[in-house]
Structures are given as structure tokens and as C-alpha cells.
Structure 1
Amino acid sequence: MKHIVITGIDGTGKSSVIKELRTKLNVRVVSIWDAIANSAFQSKEEVALHLLQLTTNDRVRFMSSAYQQSMENSAGEIILHDAYFYKYFAAELAYGADEELVKQEMKKFNIPSKVFRLMLPVEECIKRKGEHFTHYECGLKKKSTENYLTFQKKALKKWEFFNQSDWVEIDASVPVETIVSEILESL
């Protein structure tokens, strides 16, 4: 089974790329939201409110558990991961999560066959999101362009925590079709 990851900070176009890849490949897409959709939570907003009540380290555990539950139902030759744990753990490290805890949680996940990281300046991500931010994306502060920019830049620095030596970085400023072509050529 191949585990292919499409990751990047919020607003880089992961969902758009995955949607297009899904039409080209016979794949199962796994997202943290799969497990949450089958939980007691009624909406993403409820999840967001719950996350606000947790400590940073408890959020790491919650997200790790939710993503692992999502993966339990995954089957197929190729599994396409939406963000994987990278985006969430980078954010939690920016919030001050314990690095040793994050390392322990990372050991619970499969090593991906291929990781594609969509790269885009935070300022461009803001334009794409059109100010549709969450509190989580804004550093658990008021939803605003300034808070989004500040927190995403802080979280971006935490991506260095992951071993990216064999990752493929893709310029996310190009059209989705170009990104998808580049990914397909690399598989």
C-alpha cells in the first residue's frame, strides 16, 4: 500500500489538488475530518470549540488519535492523505507543544511513500482564503488577517521539525492542473 501525502500550510490549495487527483487516480482520501465526522461532534465548529478547551499537548493527542482513526478504515493500493499529521503538529509546536510528545505521536504513523509539500507565501494564502479563517489558523485569537499572518508565519518555522529530505516541494502559485501533473509524473 502506498501512502501519498499532500501537505502545506493553510491556504496552499491542498483540498483543490486532492480533489483533482482523486478524479485522475483510483484512491482513497484520508483526512483528519473522517474520524471527526463519525464522532459525537455535529460540525467542524463544534470541533473548533472543543479544541479551544484543550491544552496544547491534549490537542496533539486528540489530533493524533483522530487521524489514526481515519486511517483505520483506509484500504486500497494508494492512500492519499490530506495534510497528514504534519500541518497539525507544526501548528501545535507553534502553540508550544512538547517536542518529545510530538515525536512519540509521530511514531504511531506510517512513513509515507511520497510527500508533496505545497509551497506558497503566507500573504498569498490570505488572498486565497479570502479572510475565511478559523480561530485555530489565527493562533487561537480573533479571526483576522493580521492574526492569521502572524500565526501562520510562526507555524511555518516549525515545519523544520520534520525530516523533509525526500519531500517534493511544489510551487502552489501555479494552476492546480500543473501541480497535479507534476505529482502524477513523480508517482
Structure 2
Amino acid sequence: DTGATGATGATGETGATGATGGGAVIPFSSGAPLAVTTLAGGLVGLPGLIGFGSSTQSLTILGATIDLSGQTNYAFSMPRDGVITSLAAYLSATAALALLAPLTYTVQLYSSPSPDDVFSPVPGAVVDITITGTIAVGDTFNGIATGLSIPVTGQTRLLLVASVTGGGLVAGGTVAGYVSAGLGIE
């Protein structure tokens, strides 16, 4: 037999604060191959919108903003305030393309803080991948932007966009491939 339970002792001192966690990683994947275009003279053409296992080519040429009104939605909403710390991008070519000059494959984060369907580029949250020579099926390219400290408020919508410029192609061209990316947010 045991006796009655004794009184609870005094609460101990608060321990030291633990280390900050690594934050969240938001994964992006095009799913099927994604085609993005460049226009004659190497100007940016139709970009690709990348979601979570799916993607689509935008219906309009890339400008200063992207308006998703009437298009398929590939954006997500921030559930809380956060800080973007990094962006990594990867491309695996699914079609060959002979380049006459270097081409820049850009993966850029766009945001809509309002929130609405109009998105603008997030300065600094961009990976530019320079490609030279000939792109062969199965060629892979990658890049990363680290050391970022970009605040994002809760309810801001974020959209990942791929585009291309350059390449020296007289009549324009298409870069097709699987796209993967990861966004670090604390």
C-alpha cells in the first residue's frame, strides 16, 4: 500500500531557449514537361507557371506583372508571416535545342500581397541559369539563391514562374523540360 500523494513541488527555472529551426521548404514540381518560349531577338516569350506536381504555359507574354484572371491557378497563400531565405531550381531538358548564343533560364518567385490575381516579381527571389551551346534531351541544369531575407506577410499569394531570354535564335524558340524547385521560408 502507498500513502496519499504529496503536494506538488515548486516549479523549476525556465531552461535556455533552443536553437531556431530550419524553417519550411515549399516544394515545386512541373509534373509533366513545361515549355517556355523566347521570341525573335531573344526577348522573353510565354512563361511557365509551376505548382505542386503540375504546371502550365501562361496564356500571355511575360510583362511587368502576371494576371491570373481567367487562367489556371498555381499560386498558394501564406498561412502566416514569414521570411524567404532561399530558392533552388532544377531543369531536366526533354527536347533538344541548338543555341546560337547563351540563353538564360530564369525561375522567379512572384507575389500578390493584396491578395488578388495580379502578381509582381519578388526582388532577389530569382535563380538565373545560363545555358550555352546545344541543349540535348536529358541535360540537367540547376542553380540556387541563398542568404535571402525577404519578408512575406500572411495571406500573400506566391507564384513560381519560369521564363527564358537570349539564345540568339532568329525566330524564337522553346525550352522544354521538367522543372523542380524548393523555396525556403522561416
Shorter-chain TM-score range: under 0.3
Higher alpha-carbon Rg: 2
Higher helix share: 1
Higher strand share: 2
- Please report the TM-score for the alignment, with normalisation by the length of structure 1: 0.26
